[in-house]
């Protein structure tokens, strides 16, 4: 019986078409999380958004405990993600969000298969640049609910995380709704100015088109940032 892990071919591009957003404006943690959610609400075509942070930041998973990260509040912008997973330190990384709307065929695949296919594309982009990247062979299902205990996401590789020279350099977490699937990931790689984002997007789809975030999406994101991601009730939810 074929493992669900291989239901998406790791050697082919996962998406027939992909909208690409290089959104490197200066944004807070709350606004970055809010834009990802707003894109999930509005997307009709799979998309990837690349972004950075306007100051050193720390994001932690939906199920994480605020008490486990509170001591970082002095030097970092703290934000709770809508997706799961552990603690991720942001500042020198390349962060991305992939949205797969429910009308796209890939949405029907398992979360594990999608996670693996996306990371296989990233691995391929790194290999094309001469890096000996590989996927971690771990046994944890990244689609499963993970109860956080303040752990660093990059100290705990799970199956299909991207490894380079024995070190995890890319991990991600997902959220699936009736509208679609959101995968938020971080790439902790030293050479980020060599076109990695372009190669990654092209490894995901042979038909990429550049887009800019429209006013309606930004307005919705500002609303989500104010009402949700900046709110103490969200940040200290657990």
Q: Decide if pLDDT at 149 tops 60.
A: no
Q: pLDDT tens for residues 19-40?
A: 999 999 989 999 999 999 999 9
Burial of 167 (0-12, 13-18, 19+ CB in 10 A): exposed
What pairing do the DSSP bridges indicate for beta strands 47-51 and 18-23?
A: parallel
- Helices and strands (H, E) in the chain, number of each type: 5, 11
Q: Which residues, other chains included, contact 124 with Cβ-Cβ below 8 Å and sequence gap of 6+? A: 203
Q: Can you give the pLDDT at residue 159?
A: 86
Q: pLDDT tens for residues 82-131?
A: 999 999 999 989 999 999 999 999 999 999 999 999 999 999 999 988 89
Question: Could you say which of 35, 153, 172, 208 is catalytic?
Answer: 153
Q: pLDDT tens for residues 195-233?
A: 899 999 999 999 999 999 999 999 999 999 999 999 999
Residue 35's CATH number: 3.30.930.10
Q: How confident is the model at residue 158 (pLDDT cuts 50, 70, 90)?
A: confident
CB 12 within 8 A of CB 206: no
Residue 153 falls in the annotated catalytic set: yes
Q: Can you give the pLDDT at residue 156?
A: 67
Q: Can you give the pLDDT at residue 11?
A: 59
CB 221 within 8 A of CB 150: no
Q: Which of 155, 197, 216 is nearest to 48 (CA)?
A: 197
Q: How confident is the model at residue 4 (pLDDT cuts 50, 70, 90)?
A: very low
Q: Please give the residue range of the domain that contains residue 190.
A: 4-9+16-235
Backbone angles phi, psi at 164, to 5 degrees: -140, 120
Q: Can you give the pLDDT at residue 152?
A: 57
Q: Can you give the pLDDT at residue 157?
A: 77
Domain count, the chain: 1
SS percent in the chain: helix, strand, coil, step 5:
30, 25, 45
Q: pLDDT tens for residues 57-86?
A: 999 999 999 999 999 999 999 999 999 999
Q: Which residue has the tokens 């594990």?
A: 112
Alpha helix ranges (H) inside the chain: 29-42, 111-128, 196-204, 215-224, 232-235
Distance, first Cα to last Cα, the chain: 40
Q: Decide if pLDDT at 143 tops 80.
A: no
């Amino acid at each position: 019986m074929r493992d669900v892990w291989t239901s998406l071919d790791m050697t082919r591009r996962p998406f027939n078409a992909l909208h690409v957003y290089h959104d490197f404006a200066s944004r807070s943690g709350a606004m970055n999380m809010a834009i990802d959610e707003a894109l999930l609400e509005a997307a009709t075509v799979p998309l990837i958004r690349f972004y950075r942070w306007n100051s050193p930041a720390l994001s932690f998973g939906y199920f994480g405990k605020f008490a486990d990260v509170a001591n970082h509040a002095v030097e970092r912008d703290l934000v709770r993600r809508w997706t799961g997973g552990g603690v991720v330190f942001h500042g020198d990384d390349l962060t991305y969000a992939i949205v797969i709307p429910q009308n796209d065929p890939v949405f029907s695949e398992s979360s594990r298969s999608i996670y693996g296919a996306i990371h296989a594309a990233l691995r391929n982009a790194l290999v094309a640049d001469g890096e000996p990247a590989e996927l971690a062979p771990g046994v944890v299902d990244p689609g499963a609910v993970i109860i956080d205990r303040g752990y660093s996401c990059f100290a705990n590789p799970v199956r299909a995380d991207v490894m380079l020279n024995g070190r995890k350099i890319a991990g991600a977490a997902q959220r699936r709704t009736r509208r679609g699937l959101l995968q938020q990931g971080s790439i902790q790689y030293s050479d980020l100015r060599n076109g990695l984002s372009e190669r990654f997007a092209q490894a995901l789809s042979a038909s990429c088109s550049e887009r800019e975030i429209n006013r309606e999406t930004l307005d919705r994101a500002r609303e989500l940032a104010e009402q949700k991601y900046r709110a103490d009730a969200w940040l200290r939810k657990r």
